Amino acid sequence: MDYNTQRPKLIMGEYGRYVQDMVEYCKQIEDDDERQQCAESIIGIMAGKAERTGNAEEFMSKLWNHLAAIANYELDIRYPVEIEKEESMGMKRERVPYPQKNIKRRHYGAIVEAFTHAIEDEDDEKKREQLALMVGNQMKRDLSNWNLDAMSDEKVVDDLDEYTHGKGHIDTKLTPLVSDGDLLSSRNPTTVKKKRKR
């Protein structure tokens, strides 16, 4: 049996193994014209698989550069575009660093957590109250997106108190949070139904 683990590593996975196998076959063709024709056929197949970006000229340039990369720059043909032999063309893709943040409650996210620190640091009482109400309403929206059953004013108040060590306390009798009805009416009805079924 032929397993993927026993095959050569895919150079550009978005085109699939079928395209890579065709490129390998194309490299073995001895006749120049036949090899050129084969390469152009492969480009046609790649065009159907690739995401179209930029204008037609840029798109075709990208495809020919990808073909060269898949062939490990060993395909002897007449390229209609300038080939840039770069690692970024797919041989080794640079890993994009993802910011790792230690978030206490992921359903609120990093931005809400950053705002809770701003509440703690705010000396002006009126500004602190306004900021706490704004953040509290956002926390309630986040809860409604995460789990409708968990959405409650009490939970928001308790979580905000914990985040801000009591400095961002909201008295919901004096300054109520956004109502459940307003939150639900602004949501997509099908999403609400799906969440309620769980």
Domain end point (choices 37, 57, 89):
89
Number of domains in the chain: 2
**pLDDT score of 24:** 93
pLDDT greater than 90 at residue 77:
yes
**pLDDT score of 65:** 94
Domain limits for position 30: 9-89
* pLDDT tens, residue by residue, 27-49: 999 999 999 999 999 999 898 88
Looking at the structure, do residues 25 and 57 belong to the same domain, yes or no?
yes
Among 158-162, 168-172, 185-189, the minimum mean pLDDT is found in: 185-189
pLDDT greater than 90 at residue 23:
yes
pLDDT greater than 60 at residue 180:
yes
pLDDT greater than 80 at residue 52:
yes
Domain end point (choices 40, 61, 89):
89
Under a CB-based contact definition with an 8 Å cutoff, are residues 169 and 132 in contact?
yes
